[in-house]
């Protein structure tokens, strides 16, 4: 079996694989890039695995960076591009359900494939496109199945994040969990407690942004993985509502979160904090949460649109569209675009103008400016300096 390596990301990296082979070692494209190429999906970055030990990789190439040398990863710099090259390795220990206690470099590709999470992620490709499939990954790729490499129960015990990866791939690829893998997910869900929130969040958001979100959510709910996620312990009903939404792929992470807090009916600020999400994303979700009910019952006035602001409005509109099929996003966006100012800074008069007009700096002046912003946003006054100053004089 061959994989088509015409994609520029592969083409650029092929000389690196050849160079490693010329030095007497094995080198392969591995992991997600091989899977995605076989599925005809876009390739983001290529991962390379080799039988050469890190010190040997460093001898082959002039310019390298020790990115994660203790785990076997060396970055090779080539024509302004960095390639991560990881030595074949086995992992043992996993006393904490998340990290191997010991990483051992090995010379065998098969052993390296054995440590990987799912069969479809354990495929390797030579520089000529030949696939090396030691665990039935090609067959599972064809059947759209996510099957743990080896014993699913043991694999989830070793690293509980793999359970979140399973439901993420279900949604991202539209694949199904193979039976043993699905059972192991159910049996081991409580182990998710041992995983850092940030890592759970990274997988969860990809689940929500996937093409088959409902399928990912179904497993997330049925396995009860959600019970071990921040703020979701009692979120079964809300998640079931989420699962029932049309499977239209979400474009914005903010929209995915906004839908979740809407369905949970929980304040976005605290929820986003529990999930350790960035402040700017949280602010967007909060603003979307504020305007969403008004959007849904068509009572969002200009002032509400103005206060929401553009990035959050786009998020709220995307969420509204899923909650109310037929919702007219464009009409609201047109109304927003037509606002004569989008921020208070755009008002045609400022504090300096008011002082010239006889105001004293202070509270009253601030209130006057705020009133003018409201009047302009509402369309009661034009955003015109002369007109606004004339209004002030009266």
For the chain, helix, strand, coil in percent to 5 are: 55, 10, 35
Which listed range, 26-34, 76-84, 119-127, 361-369, lies at the site for Mg ion (CB under 5 A)? Answer: 26-34
Cα pseudo-dihedral 246, 160, 197, 145, rounded to 10: -20
Q: Is 100 a residue that touches ligand ATP (CB under 6 A)?
A: no
**Single residue of 16, 17, 29, 31 touching ligand ATP by CB under 6 A:** 31
Neighbours of 62 (CB within 10 A): 8
Which residue of this chain has its Cβ atom nearest to ligand ATP in the complex?
32
* Rounded Cα–Cα distance for residues 219 and 224 (Å): 8
- Applying CB under 6 A, does 117 fall inside the site for ligand ATP? yes
Instruction: Give whichever of 116 and 127 is closer to ligand ATP, judged by the CB atom.
Output: 116
Q: What are phi and psi of 322, to 5 degrees?
A: -75, -35
Among Mg ion, ligand ATP, none, what binds residue 162 when CB lies within 5 to 8 Å by partner kind?
Answer: ligand ATP
Helix axes 161-173, 197-208, angle to 10 degrees: 10
Burial call 331-361: b when 16+ CB within 10 Å, e when fewer: ebeeebeebbeeeeeebbbeeebbeeeebee
Q: Which of residues 35-94 bind ligand ATP (CB under 6 A)?
A: 47
Q: Which of 3, 16, 32, 377 binds ligand ATP (CB under 6 A)?
A: 32
* φ, ψ for residue 183, nearest 5 deg: -65, -45
Determine the residue with CB nearest Mg ion. Answer: 32
Choosing from 162, 167, 178, 306, the residue that interacts with ligand ATP (CB under 6 A) is 162
Pick from 13, 20, 32, 229 the residue near Mg ion by CB under 5 A: 32
What count of other Cβ atoms lies within 10 Å of the Cβ of residue 64? 20
* Residue 160, CA distances (Å) to 15, 165, 225, 258, 298 in order: 36, 9, 10, 27, 44
- Beta carbon of residue 165, minimum distance to ligand ATP (angstroms, whole number): 6
Only one of the segments 114-122, 175-183, 216-224, 372-380 lies at the binding site for ligand ATP (rule: CB under 6 A); that segment is: 114-122
Task: Kindly state whether residue 159 participates in binding ligand ATP, applying the rule CB under 6 A.
Answer: yes
Interface residues with ligand ATP (CB under 6 A) are 31-32, 47, 116-117, 121-122, 159, 161-162
Interface residues with Mg ion (CB under 5 A) are 32
């Amino acid at each position: 079996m061959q994989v088509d390596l015409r994609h520029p990301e592969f083409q650029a990296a092929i000389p690196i694989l050849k160079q490693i082979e010329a030095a007497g070692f094995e080198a392969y494209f591995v992991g997600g890039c091989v899977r995605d190429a076989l599925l005809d999906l876009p390739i983001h970055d290529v991962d390379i695995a080799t039988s050469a030990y890190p010190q040997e990789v460093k001898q082959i190439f002039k310019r390298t960076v020790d990115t994660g040398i203790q785990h076997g990863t060396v970055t090779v710099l080539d024509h302004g591009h960095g390639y991560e090259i990881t030595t074949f390795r086995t992992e043992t220990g996993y006393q904490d359900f998340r990290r191997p206690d010991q990483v051992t470099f090995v010379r065998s590709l098969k052993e390296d494939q054995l440590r990987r999470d799912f069969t479809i992620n354990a495929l390797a490709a030579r520089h000529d496109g030949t696939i090396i499939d030691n665990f039935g990954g090609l067959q599972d790729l064809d059947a759209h199945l996510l099957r743990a490499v080896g014993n699913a129960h043991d694999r989830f015990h070793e690293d509980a994040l793999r359970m979140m990866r399973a439901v993420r791939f279900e949604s991202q690829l539209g694949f199904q969990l193979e039976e043993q893998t699905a059972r192991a997910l159910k049996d081991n869900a409580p182990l998710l407690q041992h995983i850092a929130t940030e890592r759970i969040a990274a997988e969860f958001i990809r689940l929500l942004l996937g093409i088959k979100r409902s399928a990912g959510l179904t497993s997330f709910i049925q396995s009860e993985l959600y019970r071990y996620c921040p703020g979701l312990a009692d979120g079964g009903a809300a998640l079931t509502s989420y699962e029932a939404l049309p499977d239209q792929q979400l474009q914005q992470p903010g929209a995915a979160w906004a839908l979740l807090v809407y369905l949970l009916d929980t304040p976005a600020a605290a929820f986003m904090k529990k999930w350790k999400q960035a402040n700017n994303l949280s602010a967007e979700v909060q603003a979307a949460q504020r305007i969403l009910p008004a959007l849904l019952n068509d009572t969002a006035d200009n002032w509400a649109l103005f206060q929401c602001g553009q990035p959050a409005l786009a998020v709220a509109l995307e969420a509204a569209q899923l909650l109310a099929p037929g919702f007219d996003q464009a009409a609201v966006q047109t109304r927003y675009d037509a606002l004569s100012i989008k921020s208070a800074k755009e008002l045609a008069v400022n504090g300096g103008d008011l002082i010239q007009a006889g105001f004293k700096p202070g509270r009253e002046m601030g209130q006057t400016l705020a009133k003018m912003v409201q009047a302009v946003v509402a369309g009661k006054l034009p955003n015109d300096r002369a007109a606004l100053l004339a209004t002030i004089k009266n």
